Chain A
Amino acid sequence: MVVVQADSLSEENVVDHLIDKQKHAAPPVKSAVDKFQLLPEFLKGRGLVKQHLDSFNYFINIGIKKIVRANDRIVSTVDPSLYLRFTDVKIGKPSMVVDAISEQITPHMCRLSDTTYAAPILVNIEYISGSHGRKEKMIKNDVVIGRMPIMLRSCCCVLYGKNEAELARLGECPLDPGGYFVVKGTEKVILIQEQLSKNRIIIDNDKKGNINASVTSSTEATKSKTVILMEKEKMYLCLNQFAKKIPIMVVMKAMGMESDQEVVQMVGRDPRYSALLLPSIEECASHGVYTQQQALEYLEAMVKRSTYSSSSTEKQENRALAILRDVFIANVPVRKNNFRPKCIYVAVMLRRMMEALLNKDAMDDKDYVGNKRLELSGQLISLLFEDLFKTMITEVQKTADTLLVKQNRSSRFDFSQYIVRDSITNGLERALSTGNWDVKRFRMNRKGVTQVLVRLSYMASLGHMTRISPQFEKSRKVSGPRALQPSQWGMLCPCDTPEGEACGLVKNLALMTHVTTDEEESPLISLCKCLGVEDLELLSGEELHTPNSFLVIFNGLILGKHRRPQQFANAMRKLRRAGKIGEFVSVFVNEKQRAVYIASDGGRVCRPLVIADKGVSRIKEHHMRELMDGARTFDDFLHEGLIEYLDVNEENNALIALYEWEATPETTHIEIEPFTILGVVAGLIPYPHHNQSPRNTYQCAMGKQAMGNIAYNQLGRMDSLLYLLVYPQRPLLTTRTIELVGYDKLGAGQNATVAVMSYSGYDIEDAIVMNKASLDRGFGRCIVLKKYTCTNQKYENGASDRILRPRKNEERERVLDDDGLAAPGEIIRHGDIYINKESPIETRGPLKSAAALADVKYRPCAQIFKGTEGESCVVDRVALCSDKNNNLCIKYKIRHTRRPEVGDKFSSRHGQKGVCGTIIQQEDFPFSERGICPDLIMNPHGFPSRMTVGKMIELLGGKAGVSCGRFHYGSAFGEPSGHADRVEAISETLVKHGFSYNGKDFIYSGITGCPLQAYIFMGPIYYQKLKHMVLDKMHARGSGPRVMLTRQPTDGRARNGGLRVGEMEKDCLVAYGTSMLLYERLMVSSDQFEAQVCRACGLLGYYNQKLKAAMCTTCKNGDKVSTMKLPYACKLLIQELQSMNIVPRLKLAEA
């Protein structure tokens, strides 16, 4: 606790007592300090995924201890003197037990060997051992109760605090931010879950337009949802445990507020409120409920009787009160059956509802970011762990009890023996690998919580880690939650959201966003009391809402009221800036609700801002100089009160200036850098503020599909599919974000010289024309690596698969080495065998002797490489390891290098995608006065409707960049602060190097040799090659495989399927009257079948091969059987109908 016992001190004294005198602002000078340097410092200290790491670290260091402390005893019900107590819990070093030896593991080892990167959960226990009187207390330390999957780069990961060289030695990429798990060899991210905030009153309209107030309570013990709604001017309580709506006055009476006057006083003596309350009071009276006893009886009748539990009747009787105590607004604690805090809470809820009724503005906005909480991996895992831990305890208790019940036990009883390990390990592993969070205890059933980390490009994985998955299902057709919220500013990226059904629901964090973790509540509560909050217990209902006092609400709990709210808030903030209370505590004075909200709960989004006194920034030139010299860190800024974190609510009390020179005396804060409102993925767009906004959104989606580098260790990894660029480049036109996140080190694209002109007609509809010489020289070349796995199975009879040496002169076995496996470096083609494997024919039955095994019969089961015909691939790597059943597991990485071809997809960084329309020889390409020949030609029609002015500026900036040899910048909103080059300056550079100021060059046609009749806008633009390539999509078939059941051609490229003449195509043919074509497409080329039909009975017969005659099964003869053609599917239908007792008879007529 930080607060001193200072009842006698006035609040100011307390504050001054606690804070060393704050250095106050120097005389106001209006000069802008470049605060950009804070950003790299900020990111250096926290990485890009601090929110995940913080949350997980909190769970490992504090959360898990809390859980174990809350459930630290296992007591035998048979002999209560026997118990086991957990005294401490901690997480060990990541390790694996191999042959009873604990071995340290690294994440990369786990990735390669398909194991889980986990560390043992170690507990210290104290228990009673022995039996029959001879009992002794035992202490055991470091008992393993299970294995906890470890988040990479968290505090118990082996990578924690390692430098670049050490990381490289562990096979890890230094740019990889961590924040994910390795479960069974796959990288899993726990997505950030968005939720409505817990324990807060939310006033909202329901579907019928009725006003309701809802509270989702969540405490360690219970979780519940309480709704008070207003229907026909009367107010009711809706609670799951009650079968029907209950008049709110009944509830109040049941909680001991028998007098209506008291309720009215509590709500507030404004006559408008009393008038609104009147119908509810009348209704209560009409039910004949006047006393607490009557009210409880009334409630008792309403309690839902759970069908299965018929336990003690005595307990049943008090159920109404118990529900009111434990379930009804569960976040308000009831101590010693004192329901008063709960009554006040209900009164405040009612008051806010009535306020909303009188004034629509008082309604809460569910989409407001301040009303949301982000649930992170730590919280999710802690829920899971709590459930598993409790389950384990009951399990241990059960096994102990069954053992103790047995009378004649021989061995002495040892509690510690019954601790099971696997349930926790498996439970955690299963949840992480499937993503199903199914926690019955907390009535939680969520799917898709974890996802496989996308490793398509570096940006894709970063973007995946900042993604926020929505609270609603995607099918809802409301626009509210999808719309851009003003409160998102600086917290969530306005650009980065998918298109389509999840548009606006799935969001991404902005660059500087921090997500808070829980903080200890009790010191803060005492601090509030010290600062003059009048305790709720001492206030009468009347005093609660006196005109010049504000309620003080702490994490949704009403603490009391304060007469000078602004001073109180300022005092709290002063303490926060001095570092006496946590930096993430938010203090928010809500003038409209006349309340001061203090929040210290986890999951709030907040961001750092520079504090300004009367519009003068606290950060001065010398601070920044010290930062540059390394004498100061970001945390120093925080501790000295130069910078503070504001959450969304507190931002409402602040006036934030975008730049220092825009600050007015009312300004309280100054932004660090305006481009931080964008996220990581949107941050790589140059000049995004010049683009039409949806273009930036499109780029955010496409940046994740761009090929390039994924990590420094990309070639050492065994991803199932990997796209790499052969010659990736860093963009000529960069942004500050690009440098901060390391996109300049792991780029995904190439700087192409682009000419914006029409050429050849193969450039319509956004297609681009490419220069063949550029492709020859390596532009857009990419490598596709695919993984193929194969296990050498062992069977139950002791036989196992075997791998044979290749036969000589067998063309398909050409690539095999003597060991029967293809060697790295071998060129492999479609149809080649890469593992010459054979499987035993007989795999079941009893274990065989060695002699019997020798003559087990085998059938060939070679692994045949299925690539594209005509393309040659190369075996890149072969890895042998054992899987968890100790079978030999062979992994192949097969590489295919591709040069761009017609139909491959490319995109610039401005949402301008296009396919390669044609490839033209260099000599036919236009060239400029100084011999520059473009790499690709883009059609100018791409510009007018897209309005991507940023792309044009990128071209100009890139051109200036190559001519003067300096990377130009195009950070969002960067012109005023110098993080984006101005067009004027770029034009000047261009002119200085002999180009036209507008970037248009004098161009000659490569075909005729004459100059073109227009100046052509030409220069370098960063182009991304997207993963969609023709080679993977191209498909056609003549005859081929058919589906067994219907004998129709298969569907889909993967099965070499046919191309369907569908319903609409059929209609076209019908309209044309091309009956023969229809007949051919739908019958001959599909599932034509020759059937024998009996003209007598109209049923299908068969052709008897022996008699060489057609027979009818029903008539038992072949007299009147005709042969006809019909689709096999039709024959199938007839037979299926017959099988369900319907007789379809065919009537044949001469055609």
Chain B
Amino acid sequence: MSEQESSSDERMSSEEEEQQQKEEGFSYWNLKDVERGQLPPHIRKQGTRVYCKPDAPTNTETLQYSGSYASMGVDNSLRLDSFRENFRIKVIALDKDKMEFDMIGIDAAVANAFRRILISEVPTMAIEKVFIANNTSVIQDEVLAHRLGLIPIKVDPRLFEYLSANDTPNEKNTIVLKLHARCNRGQPRCSVYSQELKWLPNGSEFAKESEKPDSKPSTYTSFSCGQDSLPEFAGNPISTVEDIILAKLGPGQEIELEAHAVKGMGKTHAKWSPVGTAWYRMFPEVVLLENIKGEDVEELIRKCPSGVFDIEDTGNAKKKAIVADSRACTLCRECIRGG
């Protein structure tokens, strides 16, 4: 998942303007007064832009304090109603495992909060306990269990409760999956894939060694009803993401196990993180500081590996470079290299 937030990448800056003013005989006294309740344009720019200079980015920090410019009558505090009014989300791309969207009108810190929450605080279901009945493969039990843990399970975690330390696993907090794979003698080596994990809606099938021999056999879960009888799962069996290799089996080797998935959060272990990764970047804004004409146009276009620039015909066989696709910019800084 990736998000984009608007802000800028810019190679110009006030330098150029200043230079012009210098030539005209610049004097501070000639500066226009800034209206009360407004910031001067360069400060305003600093608040919304990060400058991507050749040696290092500058102006990276956002305002820490809403009253920074209070003396100028500017209030920077974030207000819910204005935020609600100005904030927009534009989805750029969306498919099965990827989403890209623009968040317009927020600070980096808020975007970062979304990112952090996505990574570590959105609950999911993941395999936490593995009961291995038989494993004669080369892969060690705990390594296999670790691999199982990392398999994403396609289920809505909101339908489950957290399993706390002294809870018994039941149909509300545990998903039980079974794996039984073997490679018969005489067969070539084979791989075990994640789709071979079978959902056991009625809970564990492994009988617990009971203390009292006459007590009725108990299993490692105590389901009061089958999960498949619940309306959420009827006709919508729980499955895992396919085509993940779990182990390889040689002839005569066998794996038989039961995996119990519970609800958890990414901050305890990365297996509960719902995203592969989540990140954002600031929306790149490419500004040409001078008109680029003639042969330089070709060179500029050739230099940019991601096709940010394009040619514009300015008539009478003259060419000019324009910024065509600033979103494509990867901040490789190739275009400003060496100058």
A binds B: yes
Q: Across the interface, do A1010 and B108 meet the contact criterion of CB distance under 8 Å?
A: yes
A1008-B109, A1009-B112 given; A995·B330 CB < 8 A: yes
Q: Across the interface, do B140 and A921 meet the contact criterion of CB distance under 8 Å?
A: no
Distance to closest chain A CB from B244 (angstroms): 13
Q: Across the interface, do A1009 and B108 meet the contact criterion of CB distance under 8 Å?
A: yes
Interface residues of A in 921-960 (CB under 8 A from B): 921-923, 927-931, 933
Asked if A161 is an interface residue, CB under 8 A from chain B, the answer is no
A994-B305, A994-B306 given; A1002·B116 CB < 8 A: no
Which of B27-35, B157-165, B175-183, B270-278 makes up part of the contact surface?
B270-278
Q: Across the interface, do B61 and A929 meet the contact criterion of CB distance under 8 Å?
A: no
Q: Across the interface, do A931 and B2 meet the contact criterion of CB distance under 8 Å?
A: yes
Q: Across the interface, do A1013 and B56 meet the contact criterion of CB distance under 8 Å?
A: yes
**Per-position 1/0 for B106-144, Cβ under 8 A of A:** 011111110110011000000000001001001011110
In angstroms, Cα B55 to Cα A1001, docked, is 11
In angstroms, Cα B271 to Cα A874, docked, is 23
Q: Across the interface, do A825 and B132 meet the contact criterion of CB distance under 8 Å?
A: yes
Distance to closest chain B CB from A414 (angstroms): 54
Interface residues of B in 259-282 (CB under 8 A from A): 266-267, 269-271, 273, 277-282
Q: Across the interface, do B50 and A991 meet the contact criterion of CB distance under 8 Å?
A: no
Q: Across the interface, do B337 and A1012 meet the contact criterion of CB distance under 8 Å?
A: no
In angstroms, Cα B55 to Cα A996, docked, is 12
Task: List B contacts of A59 (CB < 8 A).
Answer: none
In angstroms, Cα B57 to Cα A997, docked, is 16
Asked if A897 is an interface residue, CB under 8 A from chain B, the answer is yes
Task: List A contacts of B280 (CB < 8 A).
Answer: 1004
Asked if B288 is an interface residue, CB under 8 A from chain A, the answer is no
Distance to closest chain B CB from A778 (angstroms): 7
Distance to closest chain A CB from B160 (angstroms): 21
Q: Across the interface, do B334 and A778 meet the contact criterion of CB distance under 8 Å?
A: no
Q: Across the interface, do A773 and B56 meet the contact criterion of CB distance under 8 Å?
A: no
Chain A residue at minimum C-beta to C-beta distance from B282: A1011
Task: List A contacts of B269 (CB < 8 A).
Answer: 776
In angstroms, Cα B140 to Cα A715, docked, is 10
Q: Across the interface, do B333 and A897 meet the contact criterion of CB distance under 8 Å?
A: no
Q: Across the interface, do B330 and A930 meet the contact criterion of CB distance under 8 Å?
A: yes
Q: Across the interface, do B56 and A715 meet the contact criterion of CB distance under 8 Å?
A: no
Task: List B contacts of A928 (CB < 8 A).
Answer: 279
Q: Across the interface, do A776 and B281 meet the contact criterion of CB distance under 8 Å?
A: no
Distance to closest chain B CB from A785 (angstroms): 10
Q: Across the interface, do B277 and A931 meet the contact criterion of CB distance under 8 Å?
A: yes
A726-B143, A1006-B112 given; A933·B277 CB < 8 A: yes
For the complex, would chain B's binding face be called helix, strand, loop or mixed by DSSP majority? mixed
Q: Across the interface, do B60 and A1012 meet the contact criterion of CB distance under 8 Å?
A: yes
Task: List B contacts of A922 (CB < 8 A).
Answer: 119-120, 266, 270, 273, 277
**Per-position 1/0 for B319-339, Cβ under 8 A of A:** 000000000001111100100
Task: List B contacts of A783 (CB < 8 A).
Answer: 140, 143
Asked if B172 is an interface residue, CB under 8 A from chain A, the answer is no
Asked if B248 is an interface residue, CB under 8 A from chain A, the answer is no
Task: List B contacts of A933 (CB < 8 A).
Answer: 277, 279
Asked if B197 is an interface residue, CB under 8 A from chain A, the answer is no
Distance to closest chain B CB from A1102 (angstroms): 55
Asked if A577 is an interface residue, CB under 8 A from chain B, the answer is no
Interface residues of A in 980-1000 (CB under 8 A from B): 990-997
Task: List B contacts of A993 (CB < 8 A).
Answer: 305
In angstroms, Cα B110 to Cα A504, docked, is 59
Task: List B contacts of A1010 (CB < 8 A).
Answer: 50, 60-62, 108-109
Which of B50, B270, B280 has the most chain A CB atoms inside 10 A of its CB? Answer: B270
Chain A residue at minimum C-beta to C-beta distance from B142: A897
Chain B residue at minimum C-beta to C-beta distance from A1012: B60
Distance to closest chain B CB from A347 (angstroms): 71
In angstroms, Cα B55 to Cα A773, docked, is 31
Asked if B104 is an interface residue, CB under 8 A from chain A, the answer is no
Chain B residue at minimum C-beta to C-beta distance from A931: B279
Asked if B146 is an interface residue, CB under 8 A from chain A, the answer is yes
Q: How many residues of B contact A (CB 8 A)?
A: 50
Which of B58, B110, B111, B141 has the most chain A CB atoms inside 10 A of its CB? Answer: B141
Which of A874, A1007, A1011, A1012 has the most chain B CB atoms inside 10 A of its CB? Answer: A1011
Asked if A1014 is an interface residue, CB under 8 A from chain B, the answer is yes
Chain B residue at minimum C-beta to C-beta distance from A1007: B112
Chain A residue at minimum C-beta to C-beta distance from B211: A809
**Which residue from B50, B115, B143 sits with its C-beta under 8 Å from A897?**
B143
Q: Across the interface, do A923 and B119 meet the contact criterion of CB distance under 8 Å?
A: yes
Task: List B contacts of A1015 (CB < 8 A).
Answer: 55-57, 333
Distance to closest chain B CB from A750 (angstroms): 15
Task: List B contacts of A994 (CB < 8 A).
Answer: 305-306, 330, 332
Asked if A895 is an interface residue, CB under 8 A from chain B, the answer is yes
**Per-position 1/0 for A771-785, Cβ under 8 A of B:** 011001110010100
A929-B330, A1002-B331 given; A874·B61 CB < 8 A: no
Which of B61, B271, B330 has the most chain A CB atoms inside 10 A of its CB? Answer: B330
Q: Across the interface, do B62 and A777 meet the contact criterion of CB distance under 8 Å?
A: no
**Which residue from B55, B110, B140 sits with its C-beta under 8 Å from A874?**
B140
Distance to closest chain A CB from B75 (angstroms): 21
Task: List A contacts of B150 (CB < 8 A).
Answer: 777-778
Q: Across the interface, do B113 and A1009 meet the contact criterion of CB distance under 8 Å?
A: yes
Asked if B238 is an interface residue, CB under 8 A from chain A, the answer is no
**Which residue from A927, A1011, A1014 sits with its C-beta under 8 Å from B50?**
A1011
Interface residues of A in 760-790 (CB under 8 A from B): 772-773, 776-778, 781, 783
Asked if B52 is an interface residue, CB under 8 A from chain A, the answer is yes
**Which residue from B56, B107, B141 sits with its C-beta under 8 Å from A825?**
B141
Q: Across the interface, do B267 and A991 meet the contact criterion of CB distance under 8 Å?
A: no
Q: Across the interface, do B112 and A897 meet the contact criterion of CB distance under 8 Å?
A: no
Task: List A contacts of B333 (CB < 8 A).
Answer: 996, 1015
Distance to closest chain A CB from B42 (angstroms): 19
**Which residue from B111, B135, B270, B334 sits with its C-beta under 8 Å from A776?**
B270
Distance to closest chain B CB from A753 (angstroms): 12
**Which residue from B56, B282, B332 sits with its C-beta under 8 Å from A991?**
B332
Task: List B contacts of A1001 (CB < 8 A).
Answer: 331
**Per-position 1/0 for A680-704, Cβ under 8 A of B:** 0000000000000000000000000
Distance to closest chain B CB from A824 (angstroms): 9
In angstroms, Cα B277 to Cα A928, docked, is 12
Task: List B contacts of A715 (CB < 8 A).
Answer: 138
Q: Across the interface, do A1008 and B108 meet the contact criterion of CB distance under 8 Å?
A: yes
**Which residue from B271, B273, B279, B331 sits with its C-beta under 8 Å from A927?**
B279
Distance to closest chain A CB from B147 (angstroms): 8
**Per-position 1/0 for A76-108, Cβ under 8 A of B:** 000000000000000000000000000000000
A923-B119, A1010-B62, A1012-B60 given; A772·B138 CB < 8 A: no
**Which residue from B55, B109, B135, B143 sits with its C-beta under 8 Å from A1009?**
B109
In angstroms, Cα B111 to Cα A778, docked, is 29
A777-B150, A825-B132, A923-B119 given; A1014·B56 CB < 8 A: yes
Task: List A contacts of B109 (CB < 8 A).
Answer: 1008-1010
**Which residue from B56, B108, B120, B281 sits with its C-beta under 8 Å from A921?**
B120
Distance to closest chain B CB from A80 (angstroms): 66
Task: List B contacts of A1011 (CB < 8 A).
Answer: 50, 57, 60, 108, 282
Distance to closest chain A CB from B206 (angstroms): 14
Enumerate 7 A-B pairs (CB-CB under 8 Å) in ascending A order.
A773-B119, A922-B266, A930-B279, A1002-B57, A1007-B112, A1010-B108, A1011-B108
Given contacts A923-B119, A996-B334, A1013-B58, 20 further A-B contacts (CB under 8 A): A726-B143, A776-B269, A781-B143, A825-B141, A922-B277, A929-B331, A930-B330, A931-B2, A931-B277, A933-B277, A990-B332, A991-B332, A997-B332, A1002-B57, A1004-B279, A1004-B280, A1006-B112, A1009-B113, A1010-B50, A1011-B60
Chain A interface (Cβ < 8 Å from any Cβ of B): 715, 726, 772-773, 776-778, 781, 783, 825, 874, 876, 895, 897, 921-923, 927-931, 933, 990-997, 1001-1002, 1004, 1006-1015
**7 tightest A-B contacts by CB?**
A1009-B112, A776-B270, A994-B330, A931-B279, A773-B270, A923-B116, A1009-B108
